[in-house]
Amino acid sequence: MRRREFIALVGGMAAWPLYAYGQQSALPTIGFLNAGTRTGREHFVGAFHEGLKEGSFIEGRNVTVEYRWADDRYDRLSALADELVRLKVSVIVALGSDAVALAAKTATSAIPIVFGNSGDPVGAGLVASHSRPGGNATGVSFTTTLAAKRLELLRELVPAARTVAVLTNQLNPLAAAETKEVIAAANSLGQRLQVLAVATEADIAAAFGDLANHQVDGLLVNTDPFFLGHRTQIIGFESRHKLPTVHTIREWAMAGGL
């Protein structure tokens, strides 16, 4: 599904509870919670507005939106989710990763939550099951994970690769599952793997500086809002190191990560 179609779906789903959950304010309010920064994500916000518009909701006219950005700090998500709950928003749209939706679900069992691009909503504890989700959370899930497939693609691109590195955010509580899948795929393929666990912008620079010591021939960048927010920096390192890399979504290619 294309991003525009997906966000339109999220917007349409977010609109429904506005009829059911009244507030004292003149306009119903959507809580928008994202793990990243707003800088560089204007097109996501624009697509979200388009989805709301398809449901006849216009920000500032018949609905308000409270935006909360964690600025790539997962430790801020719980406090931001609690803040939206105190504001008595009608619905929380949780985007960026399963950790965002999990923070919202921990903060409230009454306010509806709409999550997007969930890797494993059942495993993350967002829903009881795909067929009977229960609770107050719903959304869109990618039922097929692509971490192993991306490793296979990298091996096709660089068949002589001795060591492949995977860049992962150690502060993302749910990143371990994706890294575990890459490790399992590497073991089955007999591929030597180097895990680069980072947490800050400085860590990214240090990790790339250390690649030469490990003689890395290719790189996988895990799905993570933190990496997406620093994609220009990461792509610059890849270019300087002449390192073949497989990314996740089209924003990387748009930024030059080919």
pLDDT in tens, 26-56: 789 999 999 888 887 788 899 899 999 999 9
Confidence band of 143 (pLDDT split at 50, 70, 90):
low
pLDDT at residue 250 tops 90: no
Q: Could you report the per-residue pLDDT of 173-225, keeping only the tens digit for each? A: 778 878 888 999 999 999 999 999 998 989 999 999 888 777 899 999 988 88
pLDDT band of residue 14 (cuts 50, 70, 90) is very low
Give yes or no for residue 12 having a pLDDT over 70.
no
Going by the DSSP 8-state scheme, the letter that residue 74 receives in this structure is: G
pLDDT value of position 145: 65
- Name all domains of the chain by residue range, CATH numbers in brackets: 3-141 (3.40.50.2300), 147-254 (3.40.50.2300)
Report the chain's C-alpha Rg in angstroms. Answer: 19
Residue 188: count of CB within 10 angstroms of its CB: 10
pLDDT for res 226: 87
